[in-house]
Amino acid sequence: MSIDSKAMALGLTSAVPFARTVGIEIAEVSADGDDVRAVATLPDEERLHNHVAGPHAGALFALGETASGAVVMAAFAPHLALGTPLAVRADIAYAKLALGPVRATATLGRPVAEVIDELTRGGRPEFPVTVEITRADGAVTTTMTVVWTIRPNR
């Protein structure tokens, strides 16, 4: 199923204005069963640079976390009456210098139905979203895993 990326971007930047502040854009979002993916981009702007003229580590983290949030919304938006999604922890590795505009591709790492089942049984499910950040030449500069939960509404 294709998701309206423009509506998703508007919703995310309304709910999380920091993403808008650094110029993150949601380029695409898709959900096909348990294959839930999102792509977010970060422009190459001097105000976001570090001391080696690439995007600051904090900007890369924000990009990856935002892409992971788009995945969470794509996967679980129909179930938000059950609980609130929250990032629990994240692990990030910087492998290569990121120069120029960068792109984060995030993928859900646990079946949607499994997460919803745990939630409806009263649990507080956790699930990973993996992220790869690439340069325009396709080189992977950063990898990240954001573990999310859905805090049940009580």
Which residue ranges make up each domain of the chain?
5-152
Cα separation of 4 and 131, whole Å? 21
Average pLDDT of span 59-85: 95
In 3D space, the residue among 121, 99, 88, 3 whose CA is nearest the CA of residue 55 turns out to be 99
Distance, in Å, from the CA atom of 94 to the CA atom of 78, rounded to the nearest integer, reads 34
Cα(48)–Cα(60) distance, integer angstroms: 9
Q: Which of 142, 118, 143 shows the shortest CA–CA distance to 129?
A: 143
The reply to whether CATH 3.10.129.10 applies to domain 5-152 is yes
What three-state secondary structure class fits 3? coil
User: pLDDT tens digits, residue range 89-119?
Assistant: 999 999 999 999 999 999 999 999 999 999 9
Q: Cβ(82)–Cβ(153) under 8 Å? A: yes
pLDDT over 90 percentage in the chain: 82
Retrieve residue 64's tokens. Answer: 């990856």
pLDDT category at 149 given cuts 50, 70, 90 is: very high
Whole-number pLDDT of residue 11: 80
pTM: 0.94
